[in-house]
Chain A
């Protein structure tokens, strides 16, 4: 246990980076995911095709391949950024495909009659979206979005493989110095479990408050 206390500053710094990666990339993925979902449900065929291509590409490429490509490939064509920023952008772009699909399944879960009724009483497209469709769609996607958040937190660990010093990398470094793997890796595992548990608790509360029984 004392190993953890001795190296608390490094591990804490790593945990902060993991928090930053998780929060920033999930926020980015949420914004981008809404765009992707809008593309995929739009009446314009070209936009639908772009959305589908985006989802297919990023759901089928391993995140680590994208990270490696961006960290070592993009500087070759003159695109350089801070490692932390690169990692955040890559993870956000990757998770946006999943967020978009979750949102789309939410939109599709709203009964067809709801949209027809909204249009029949004269609401415009954006009004019917804002007052009728989205409030119902968002409720059904709380749980899937919570799962994507947890997956995002787990996936940020991959940034350690390309040199971002997050919790996983910090734990690994401390282990290389101290050679006491059990307390160090168990400690890191507990920290990840706590992040996931917190996310699960929040989504559980949200869902109980929002869910509508049909």
Chain B
């Protein structure tokens, strides 16, 4: 049990039963209310949902989902690489590396991603840099997520005990070798859950394709809704797809985390 209560006694169990009934009733009432609201506005007609039982609709949406994945994977790879460089820069003992990396991370963290998208959409073309649609989405996502990944990697590198670096240097490895062969592999394993959950955030950010008009899932939904006029149905289906994909990824992050804490505990027990 949690910090808040002990094993319930007879009276508490009675209260729990009452709360169970009331909670269930409230949930059911909410669902009934929603369904009635749909029905009252004629949005429950079979004809308005039928299209989403057909393959061409799903093929179109799945193409959108594929583009979402493509944008997410490319931005994730680029922003992880950039983030690693920034983290190493921020931890370096050379000032000219440390200051710009720290400045980048601190500045980008407090700028909304949409503002970066607008910069790429409307500012860069004025200076002769008109990127293809795909990169108009990926560049701002990379720029903003690199800062987040940099902080994750920095936390991971800092969590590796100093003795590891000292031992590496003592056996004659250079600083770079120590980092690459000893510190980074350990750090990467420790921050894996944070990396996965940040990647879920990145996947959520790809919905900015709606603004860029890059054909990812949300923008595909917009096009579809404009074409068939089934606004709420389309956006609900799109939301459901996002929910399923992201919930599975989040589950993966939690699994990784629990596994890791088990293996850490085992190691502690052995020591």
By a beta-carbon cutoff of 8 Å, the part of chain A in contact with chain B is: 41-47, 50, 56-57, 59-66, 68-69, 72-74, 76-79, 107-108, 110-112, 114-116, 119, 125, 128-129, 133, 150, 154-158, 160-161, 168, 171-172, 175-176, 179, 181-182, 185, 188-189, 192-193, 195-197
Chain B residues with Cβ below 8 Å from A168 are: 112, 114-115, 118
Provide 9 A-B residue pairs closer than 8 Å at the C-beta atoms, listed in order of the A residue: A62-B205, A69-B239, A72-B232, A108-B2, A133-B4, A157-B112, A157-B114, A185-B123, A188-B115
When C-beta atoms are compared, the residue in chain A nearest to B13 turns out to be A43
When C-beta atoms are compared, the residue in chain A nearest to B26 turns out to be A50
Q: CA of A176 to CA of B41 in the docked complex: distance in angstroms?
A: 39
By a beta-carbon cutoff of 8 Å, the part of chain B in contact with chain A is: 1-6, 8, 12, 16, 19-20, 23-24, 27, 37-38, 40-41, 43, 107, 109-115, 118-119, 122-123, 126, 200, 204-208, 210-211, 218, 221-222, 225, 231-232, 235-236, 238-239, 242-243, 246-247, 250
Chain A residues with Cβ below 8 Å from B123 are: 175, 181-182, 185
Cross-chain contact A44 with B20 (CB below 8 angstroms): yes
Q: A60-B247, A115-B4 are in contact. Are A72 and B235 (CB under 8 A)?
A: yes
Cross-chain contact B250 with A189 (CB below 8 angstroms): no
Binding site secondary structure of chain A: helix
Chain B residues with Cβ below 8 Å from A193 are: 107, 110-111
Chain B residues with Cβ below 8 Å from A73 are: 231-232, 235-236
Smallest distance from the beta carbon of B150 to chain A beta carbons, Å? 16
Cross-chain contact B5 with A125 (CB below 8 angstroms): yes
Cross-chain contact B114 with A77 (CB below 8 angstroms): no
Cross-chain contact B38 with A41 (CB below 8 angstroms): no
When C-beta atoms are compared, the residue in chain B nearest to A42 turns out to be B19
Q: A62-B218, A74-B232, A76-B231 are in contact. Are A171 and B118 (CB under 8 A)?
A: yes
Q: CA of A175 to CA of B123 in the docked complex: distance in angstroms?
A: 8
Smallest distance from the beta carbon of A32 to chain B beta carbons, Å? 15
